[in-house]
Amino acid sequence: MSGAAAGRPWEATVALPRAGEGAGPAPRVDHIVVLGLVPPGARVLDIGCGDGSLLALLRDRRGVDGRGIELSREGVNACLARGLPVIQGDADTDLANYPDGAFDVVVLSQTIQATRQPRVVLEHLLRIGRQVIISFPNFGHWRVRAELAFRGRMPVTEIMPDAWYETPNIHHCTIRDFVGLCRVVGAKIETAAALDSHGRPMRFAMPWWVWNLFGAQGVFLLRRGGGDGRR
Amino acid sequence: MDIQPDTALRPDPIDDTARRTPEVSQALDPKSPVVRFGPDKPLLTDAGVALAPFQIAYQTAGTLNAARSNAVLICHALTGDQHFAHTHPLTGKGGWWDTLVGPGKPIDTDRYFVVCSNVVGSCMGSTGPASIDPATGRPYGLDFPLVTIRDMVRAQAMLLDHLGIDQLFLCIGGSMGGMQVLQWAALHPERVFAAMPIATGARHSAQNIAFHEVGRQAIMADPAWHDGRYLEAGTRPSKGLGVARMGAHITYLSEPALHRKFGRRFQGGSAPTFSFNADFQIESYLRHQGLSFVERFDANAYLYLTRAMDYFDLAEDGGGVLANAFRGTRTRFCVISFTSDWLFPTADSRVIVHALNAAAAPVAFVEVETDKGHDAFLLDEPAMFSAARGFIDAAARARGL
């Protein structure tokens, strides 16, 4: 990452898509954020890559050599049709088979809270990738807190749309919690961002507690090594 | 292995009458093009034998483009042959991979030049144990050298050289064919742009070797086998080969598929006959599979080809590390397995995928949900077709086809 971008990943994004550019629908805003964090030509592993839209975006805009892991056959087939090398598998069981440092960047988008062993998964990510981009829904968001505090119910939001008895999300955490996990596994936080409920980066560098209250999701760029790089 | 599980059931057991079938006629005089390699071009086998002269029978479909960049090699399975899209000269059935190959199909013969050759050691026109040994003037029998999967690939490479094909756009095959695909990618990575190993493994498991051994012992226990010299004796070890096929056929299916098709239903009536007749539909079906198989396949060829599969262990060539077999490869892979395949279970495919990952090869992997067992790769499996179409179309775009 360039120095100017450190701590403000949204400023490192490339130009937002113009009308009529590309054949498909406009990229998701959170994908644009990831796009801004991935250096051109990087080798990228996208875990839980869905239909491959992020990988295709990275390939077409950044010229990356992208690979993916996806649980659903529908997702894998969609990726095959895009010409993306994606394997049917899951983060909890398949990461152990990747060699150290196999990728420049490993992306885990909105998935860590659904893994059985988030700590083990994060350690694998840091082992496999030189850099790790990870995003997750922030359970410390004010609406989540309000649901619990005032209605006494498990929250259902845009980014966490399932009722507690159906949700695949079994390991919720807040942005602060995740920062704590980074410390535990010795991950260096190169840069971080909180996205609002529309997936847009929050504009100002603010203290953690503000992000933890108003960020609907957290996006972190990590690398191996000790210490908390931000504060 | 052109298994049609819905074929009519026949109650009659395997009988021992020496059938005057033309199953070895194709070995000597195949109904397909043949390339003959003279003494100057021997096949140097893993067993240390220079096989010469020898011939390879093959079939093609489609047209090779001017750049010679649209060639597809199909590798057939254990008892398959080169007639992937052509009427079988003995059974009269259509091509064994008509489901996947043809105009507008995932392997589109309007776009690609598709080649499939009978493997060396088989009995459909390529040199094998039923061929005439030029040194003696009689069938090789067990004098034929043991061949390996790598020897099959070497022979295919010589055929492609003959056809003027430098690089394959795609190398694809299931089961033993998948082993050849992996061997191709390991032996000639620069000659394979894209590879699709289906329902296969990087090595034959102990259980699979055990099943093969049972089949071989059944053949060799048949008095009509005559130590492999049955062609001269004027007999055929049909009983042994039929039993071998019956046993093997079970491994190609799955219990849910058997249950769905046959269950415990009786053949012809509802009551047991209190005899060893084929009371159950499944018995009748298996006997039919055994009977029809011996009419199209040579028993010694079955011995040789099962042995070739047994010896296959791609990791062994790389010091026990499978990833070494693919080190530095630029081939793009698509690995496919089937949930109910217990002969080459998904775990075997995952071993391949993990090795390719470790070798940083671009690899896609799909596990197709089906109850049809190992044979699913030959059958109508829409999920396999859509995965194949996606992968092949994308590879064609990357290759500029």
Please determine, for residue B7, whether its predicted confidence score (pLDDT) is greater than 50: no
Residue pair B204/B183 in contact by the 8 Å Cβ criterion = no
**Shortest Cα–Cα distance, B370 to chain A (Å):** 13
Non-local CB neighbours of A102 within 8 Å, separated by 6+ positions? A43, A45, A128, A129, B357, B358, B360
Closest to B393 in 3D by CA, of A44, A77, A57: A77
- If one compares A216 and B9, the residue with the highest pLDDT of the two is A216
For B15-24, what is the mean pLDDT? Answer: 48
For A93-102, what is the mean pLDDT? Answer: 90
**Shortest Cα–Cα distance, B32 to chain A (Å):** 35
Q: Hey, are the CB atoms on B363 and A97 less than 8 Å from each other? A: no
Lowest average pLDDT, out of A72-81, B123-132, B190-199, goes to A72-81
* CA atoms of A164 and A156, how far apart (whole Å): 8
Which positions 336-365 of B are in contact with A (Cβ < 8 Å)? 350, 353-354, 357-358, 360, 362-365
Non-local CB neighbours of B137 within 8 Å, separated by 6+ positions? none
Please determine, for residue B15, whether its predicted confidence score (pLDDT) is greater than 70: no
- If one compares A157 and A104, the residue with the highest pLDDT of the two is A104
Q: What is the pLDDT of residue A15?
A: 37
DSSP of A136-149: EEBTTSHHHHHIII
For A176-205, what is the mean pLDDT? Answer: 88
Confidence of residue A28 (pLDDT cuts 50, 70, 90): confident
Q: What's the alpha-carbon Rg for chain A, to the nearest Å?
A: 17
Question: Which of A67, A76, A98 shows the shortest C-beta gap to B366?
Answer: A76
Q: What is the pLDDT of residue B25?
A: 82
Instruction: Give the tens place of pLDDT for each residue, B224-256.
Output: 999 999 999 999 999 999 999 999 999 999 999
Question: Cα–Cα–Cα angle for B19, B23, B24, nearest 5°?
Answer: 115
Question: Which of B364, B393, B398 shows the shortest C-beta gap to A87?
Answer: B364
Q: How many CB atoms lie within 10 A of CB A212?
A: 23
Please determine, for residue B5, whether its predicted confidence score (pLDDT) is greater than 70: no
For B121-147, what is the mean pLDDT? Answer: 96
pTM of the model: 0.88
Distance of CA B10 to the CA centre of its chain: 26
Q: Hey, are the CB atoms on A73 and B332 less than 8 Å from each other? A: no
Please determine, for residue A23, whether its predicted confidence score (pLDDT) is greater than 60: no
Q: Is B170 on the interface with A (CB under 8 A)?
A: no
**Shortest Cα–Cα distance, A76 to chain B (Å):** 7
Instruction: Give the tens place of pLDDT for each residue, B288-328.
Output: 999 999 999 999 999 999 999 999 999 998 889 999 999 99
Q: Hey, are the CB atoms on B365 and A98 less than 8 Å from each other? A: no
Confidence of residue B271 (pLDDT cuts 50, 70, 90): confident
Question: Cα–Cα–Cα angle for B175, B176, B178, nearest 5°?
Answer: 65
Non-local CB neighbours of A65 within 8 Å, separated by 6+ positions? A41, A42, A43, A44, B362
- Token couple for A72: 């659903």
Which positions 97-156 of A are in contact with B (Cβ < 8 Å)? 97-99, 102
**A contacts of B368 (beta carbons < 8 Å):** 73
Q: Hey, are the CB atoms on B364 and A76 less than 8 Å from each other? A: yes
Please determine, for residue A210, whether its predicted confidence score (pLDDT) is greater than 90: no
- Token couple for A103: 């990728």
Strand partners, B101: B107
Give the Å distances, CA to CA, from B61 to B31, B88, B117, B276, B345.
15, 15, 12, 47, 31
- If one compares B191 and A31, the residue with the highest pLDDT of the two is B191
Q: Find the helix or strand (DSSP H, E) in which B338 lies.
A: strand B332-338
Q: Hey, are the CB atoms on B365 and A99 less than 8 Å from each other? A: no
Please determine, for residue A6, whether its predicted confidence score (pLDDT) is greater than 50: no
For A168-188, what is the mean pLDDT? Answer: 94
Mean pLDDT of chain B: 92
Known catalytic membership, residue B259: no
Q: What is the pLDDT of residue A204?
A: 61
Which positions 366-385 of B are in contact with A (Cβ < 8 Å)? 366-369, 383
For B264-268, what is the mean pLDDT? Answer: 88
**Upper half-sphere CA count for residue A96 (Cβ side, 13 Å):** 6
Instruction: Give the tens place of pLDDT for each residue, B358-384.
Output: 898 999 999 999 999 999 999 999 999
**B contacts of A100 (beta carbons < 8 Å):** none
**A contacts of B332 (beta carbons < 8 Å):** 85
Known catalytic membership, residue B374: yes
Q: What is the pLDDT of residue B292?
A: 94
Catalytic residue among B2, B310, B341, B375: B341
**B contacts of A94 (beta carbons < 8 Å):** 354
Mean pLDDT of chain A: 84
pLDDT-above-90 percentage for chain B: 88
Question: Which of B365, B386, B398 shows the shortest C-beta gap to A88?
Answer: B365
**Shortest Cα–Cα distance, A68 to chain B (Å):** 8
